[in-house]
Structure 1
């Protein structure tokens, strides 16, 4: 006679546990999605937003770029204690998203290939020394020289192993355009020139613009009645620029006249002297994994022992922005260690002009735009 009561009790229990199971299922689904997204972001592909114009006009500010981790192989995490799907700070806040209490050795999984000249690479900047390697700011540049290459720049022309380097299709330089009359910003916008800077002096009207040589030639050919002359702007040779690598008064290199210098490669041995300490001492001290390095002007001490030659443990790369006169790259920060390289940029997923709202600024012609 108590069976109906038991049935009712069972129905009540079932009614209580149903919502609990639903909540558990939602939590499990969210955890699974977060783990799957984290693994994909770590091992396969990531999305990055271009923050500046250093790669114009190949990549534009506001481009959403897919970066492949498969090409060079994914890196194992150095800092395991971090919030998933974040970098440096928790999304939407300034709160750090990691704890550096544990630092693991880094390894790279097998990839589809190696970094090649002219690849557009994403890497952790080597200059943020106060942060772990895998949590330093992301930069994107074009790889110009590989480990073991000799590179130099003469009057803006880049040479690798004494051969003129192949130019990307959209490399830009800084030009001064002397005009016969005032030209509006709408005029430059219509002709494909972004953010011209106006310089006015008595009897002279001119504009500084960043553009490709082809674009400048097109402008002077089509509109000769507006243009008086066009000259590339070049840093003066022989004047020391303190921001240029290797940041030493003995080298009067500029961003337009740089080198020659050899890009270090694993197994390369150098003699310890004043020149090589100036060029490579920073790498030995910071990136080669040595714990106790002391450098003087012409001496190197490792673990309290003076050494007279040094053999590199890592490969390094030389990278530059396609907007050559508006890029902070290896000419300023030096060589890129191989363990800082994240992946290869392969596709512009979408793009939005940051000067406008997101939807009104969408550049429809750049949707699913391949990167070369």
Structure 2
């Protein structure tokens, strides 16, 4: 009897162990499958700010295709699957940077095109390049393109290049009286800032040129004028902006580097491209002075770029940190193409009450 009872008890223990083993195995396989899909096929990212308004809104859950441009091989392999910088819910790093591998891109469905909305690792930060923060912007400059902004108007290769109806700017709207919230909600204007300076009564607003035309022609009863607000020279403190008198509203012309592009290593080109060469071209022994460059101890009069780069800007042009500030985006930093808003929720409300039903499965372009 004792032997029979012991055998039954042992059988239950073995059965429980087997069930736990199967459960752990299933969870592990599911995690590996999810990690593989996230790496090679598609990812889900939440828009944290309004830098891409009106195209993308804060709280949009965006599907990003990795197969359009081809998935990148991992550069930091010692990482917990389905994590980014830290273990969820903690500040503990989810990776070890002991091993850094060369990064390659698998074959994709297409090349990066002008006006694609791209997700990329920001070229600034302390983490390994493939684990830096994800940013989302519109690619407005391809390798070799000339980018120029004059009084907010973007030109690419000397041709006006703003996508119609997809960009917005900062304006000062002079009004005849104080306007209520319903006015701004009806006209889809978010966060207007009231000015009470004598002689300058009105609002600082962010909206599209198309909306400005509507406001000035349809609503003259309330509005006296709507004028663009431009940065003054010297408002940006970086060396490159100060040296050339550039602002975010008047910028360039500047050529986006492409692989094989040759530039003279003089004072102007070192100022324009020196930081890019030093940070991303993977030259081990490189040194700059104001007007000269040395590689491996040899003075270099001309430099040939080893990589392709891109110029990206937010559609909310006056509230976007982008290539005007952080510089060119190396091709190997680009993660994928934003293709669809899967879900959207207004962060000023609770998740379910704030769901924007009209943005469900919204195709991005």
Give the shorter-chain TM-score range.
over 0.9
Question: Does residue 269 of structure 2 align to residue 273 of structure 1?
Answer: no
Alignment equivalent of 1:167, drawn from 163, 169, 180: 163
Question: Does residue 129 of structure 2 align to residue 133 of structure 1?
Answer: yes
Distance 1:243 1:346, change over 3 A: farther
TM-aligned CA deviation for residue 249 of structure 1: 3.1
Scaled by the length of structure 2, the TM-score of the pair is 0.96
Q: Mind listing any 5+ residue stretches in structure 2 that lack a counterpart?
A: none
State the secondary structure of the residue aligned to 1:270.
strand
Alignment equivalent of 1:262, drawn from 235, 255, 260: 255
* Separation in structure 1 between the aligned mates of residue 115 and residue 122 of structure 2, nearest angstrom: 18
* Separation in structure 1 between the aligned mates of residue 111 and residue 304 of structure 2, nearest angstrom: 22
Partner of 1:22: 19
* Separation in structure 1 between the aligned mates of residue 68 and residue 258 of structure 2, nearest angstrom: 20
Is the 1:248–1:278 contact (alpha carbons within 8 Å) kept by the matching residues of 2?
no
1:194-273 alignment, distance < 5 Å: 194-236=190-232, 239-243=233-237, 247=240, 249-273=242-266
Partner of 2:102: 105
Partner of 2:329: 336
Partner of 2:65: 68
* Separation in structure 1 between the aligned mates of residue 242 and residue 315 of structure 2, nearest angstrom: 27
Give the total of aligned pairs: 365
Partner of 2:47: 50
Is the 1:241–1:252 contact (alpha carbons within 8 Å) kept by the matching residues of 2?
no
Is the 1:76–1:109 contact (alpha carbons within 8 Å) kept by the matching residues of 2?
yes
State the secondary structure of the residue aligned to 2:240.
coil
TM-aligned CA deviation for residue 6 of structure 1: 7.1
Is the 1:150–1:263 contact (alpha carbons within 8 Å) kept by the matching residues of 2?
yes
Is the 1:220–1:227 contact (alpha carbons within 8 Å) kept by the matching residues of 2?
yes
Deviations 1:113-148 (A, max 9, x none): 1100000000011111x2211011110000001001
Partner of 1:317: 310
Deviations 1:28-51 (A, max 9, x none): 010001100111111100011000
Partner of 2:364: 371
TM-aligned CA deviation for residue 222 of structure 1: 2.6
Question: Does residue 282 of structure 2 align to residue 294 of structure 1?
Answer: no
TM-aligned CA deviation for residue 8 of structure 1: 6.1
TM-aligned CA deviation for residue 204 of structure 1: 4.2
Query: Quick check: 205-214 or 185-194, which moved more?
Result: 185-194
Question: Does residue 73 of structure 2 align to residue 80 of structure 1?
Answer: no
Query: Quick check: 168-177 or 200-209, which moved more?
Result: 200-209
Question: Does residue 38 of structure 2 align to residue 38 of structure 1?
Answer: no
* Separation in structure 1 between the aligned mates of residue 144 and residue 278 of structure 2, nearest angstrom: 20
Q: Mind listing any 5+ residue stretches in structure 1 that lack a counterpart?
A: none
RMSD of Structure 2 on Structure 1 (CA): 1.6
Scaled by the length of structure 1, the TM-score of the pair is 0.94
